[in-house]
């Protein structure tokens, strides 16, 4: 399986534990750098005291994600985070681009506004549509249908694995 895998951790943290939770989350994120296929971490701190913290870990494929999930580093980091959480910590994993298309209906979920997600997606897709798609089509001028299919496939693949993750990383504070 080659789809990107995103692990989402949601937890409520008592005000007295906030600094320790932030530090432990950053430490676990830093440890991820030692794992193959690690694409980044996004930490969304709650706007209001008592709301959920959301931490998103991304890996380029399931095999690399599974290596991290089964690691002692992750196990120890999760124990620390769980000890600082107020109640049970919720965990889920999402494959591929599902992160972008999951409904905003799950209780406690704090997603960026749709218009911001759309703006970041536009930034990620526009250069590919403007430069990559015509370049692919120019290679096959006598086969417009095949060229269009290959251009769309190329844009989709590059967007999924390169430009969208990069755009999300660049604009993570704004999102």
Residues of the chain with CATH 3.30.70.100: 5-110
pLDDT digits (tens, 9 = 90+) for 37-64: 888 888 888 888 778 888 888 888 888 8
> Cα–Cα distance between 6 and 98 in angstroms, integer?
9
pTM: 0.55
Give the residue among 51, 52, 56, 49 at the shortest CA–CA distance from 25: 56
Split at pLDDT 50, 70, 90, the class of 103 is very low
> Cα–Cα distance between 143 and 138 in angstroms, integer?
10
> Cα–Cα distance between 31 and 34 in angstroms, integer?
6
Average pLDDT of the chain to the nearest whole number: 82
**Domain spanning 5-110, CATH class:** alpha beta
């Amino acid at each position: 399986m080659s789809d990107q895998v995103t692990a989402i951790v949601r937890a409520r943290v008592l005000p007295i534990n906030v600094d320790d939770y932030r530090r432990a989350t950053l430490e676990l994120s830093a440890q991820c750098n030692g794992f193959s296929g690690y694409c980044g971490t996004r930490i969304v701190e709650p706007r209001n005291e008592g709301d959920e913290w959301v931490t998103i870990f991304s890996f380029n494929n399931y095999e690399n994600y599974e290596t991290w999930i089964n690691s002692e580093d992750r196990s120890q980091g999760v124990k620390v985070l769980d000890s600082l959480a107020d109640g049970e910590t919720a965990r889920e994993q999402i494959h591929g681009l599902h992160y972008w298309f999951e409904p905003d209906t799950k209780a406690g979920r704090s997603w960026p506004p749709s218009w911001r997600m759309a703006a970041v997606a536009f930034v990620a897709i526009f250069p590919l549509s403007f430069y990559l798609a015509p370049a692919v089509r120019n290679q096959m001028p006598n086969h417009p249908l095949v060229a269009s299919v290959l251009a769309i496939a190329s844009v989709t693949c590059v967007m999924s694995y390169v430009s969208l993750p990069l755009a999300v990383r660049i604009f993570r504070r704004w999102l």
